[in-house]
Structure 1
Amino acid sequence: MKNDKIKNIIFDLGDVILNIDVPLASQSFAKLSGKEQQEVLAIFKEKEIFRQFETGLLDEASFRNYIREIIHLSDLSDDAVDTAWNSLLLDLPPERVSLIRNLSKSYRLFLLSNTSSIHITQVNKILKASTGIERLEDLFEKVYLSYEMGLMKPDPQIYQQVLDEAGLIAEETLFLDDNADNIAGAATLGIDTIHVQKPLTILEYLKDYAA
């Protein structure tokens, strides 16, 4: 149901705009290393490598080197690391971009994503191939990325920073995310939320806003 107070919409990226399959990344690294996928997942969790990368504690070179170190593949090329890491990124349906462009006529639109620089480079390639649009920044008033902010959802501070920098009022702002914890984090600040859950997409959740 449409909230008539809403003036601003903040979108998550993965499984909201872009389709993703997170386990594919660990599966790809498992194939490269000859390890079981669960072993790779356990190593990554213990080292918090993705959290470090997605909050900017590791730059691209440090991330690739750390991957080589912890899965014991010193000769793995940069391209091989990037390809495995990007394997979780799937397609970006053009109709979702059309919806966003339509919504931009009536609302201030923002993107807030837990992500890394390697992923964003690839996402922009997928976006251009799918729609002809060069980069995410062409769709939103501002793109907020965890690795640039040094914060990750669901930390309430990341939402507060977006509100403060963009001059948004929480009660006039709608946030869409596929992760229940991220939704809860935003809701603590009074932001209106929609938990995007498959098989529904933003086309269904936002149809009243686009009308």
Structure 2
Amino acid sequence: MLHNLIFDLGDVIIPIDLTAPIRNFATLANLPEAEVETIWQQYDFINHYETGILDDEGFRSHIRQLLKNDAWADEVIDTAWNTILLDLPVERIERIKELKQHYRIFLLSNTSPIHIRRVNEVLTAMGQPRLDELFERVFYSYEVRIAKPSPEIYQHVLSEAGLVAEETAFFDDNAANIRAAAELGIRAVQVQPPKTILDYLNENL
């Protein structure tokens, strides 16, 4: 019997474009996209940001330093960084609200504070609850200081929320994250286009 549902955020609840920040920072810095992508790969600052090693200001400082522009305001960096987030389909939020009547609902995301603030702004503008109101508990990599697919982050969620792995389903778009969860006995479902999370919920619940 399933009693608990854990959702990823990016490309499960909200569609994302991983290349959009690279394009936008390249435009801002007047650099080729390939050069910015190389910088992203060479320096591990995004992973450090998403695991809480860097705070917001540290993240922005790294961007200014690596792209050699000290004049960018915080808002300029945040806006470019948030271009990864595409339009949020309201029907997905409504479905999660329906599921709360029958399951314990959780969010587990490798993410950053800038992204979470923006998603909450969008939800509020839509007249929807914030993420921490929509879900019973939210688990963000930057707060837990561990990122998927590390087994420790799944064990943390199970322990903190008092969940039994075999009674829990996890929906994520990343194959490595799915494998790691499945190895702990969680019913892990990979969300892959052209299907959406709504399709997988209909098939599995």
Q: TM-score, normalised by structure 2?
A: 0.97
Matches of 2:21 and 2:164, distance apart in 1? 37
Q: 1:107 aligns with which of 86, 103, 106?
A: 103
Q: 1:39 aligns with which of 32, 35, 50?
A: 35
Identify the residue that residue 164 of structure 1 maps to in structure 2.
159
Answer whether contact 1:154 1:182 (CA < 8 A) is retained: yes
Matches of 2:32 and 2:55, distance apart in 1? 27
Tell me the secondary structure at the aligned position of residue 84 of structure 2: coil
Question: In angstroms, what is the RMSD of aligned CA positions?
Answer: 1.1
Q: 1:74 aligns with which of 70, 74, 77?
A: 70
Report % sequence identity.
Answer: 50
Matches of 2:45 and 2:32, distance apart in 1? 18
Q: 1:153 aligns with which of 148, 152, 155?
A: 148
Runs of at least 5 residues in structure 2 that lack an aligned partner in the other structure: none
Q: 1:173 aligns with which of 146, 149, 168?
A: 168
1:79-103 per-position Cα deviation (integer Å, ceiling 9, x unaligned): 1100110011111111101110111
Q: TM-score, normalised by structure 1?
A: 0.94
- The Cα of 1:199 is off from its aligned counterpart by 1.3
1:97-128 per-position Cα deviation (integer Å, ceiling 9, x unaligned): 11101111111000000000000000111112
Moved over 2 A (4+): none
Tell me the secondary structure at the aligned position of residue 78 of structure 2: helix
Identify the residue that residue 187 of structure 1 maps to in structure 2.
182
- The Cα of 1:209 is off from its aligned counterpart by 5.5
Matches of 2:80 and 2:88, distance apart in 1? 19
Q: Is 2:204 the counterpart of 1:205?
A: no
Give the partner amino acid of 1:89: L
Runs of at least 5 residues in structure 1 that lack an aligned partner in the other structure: none
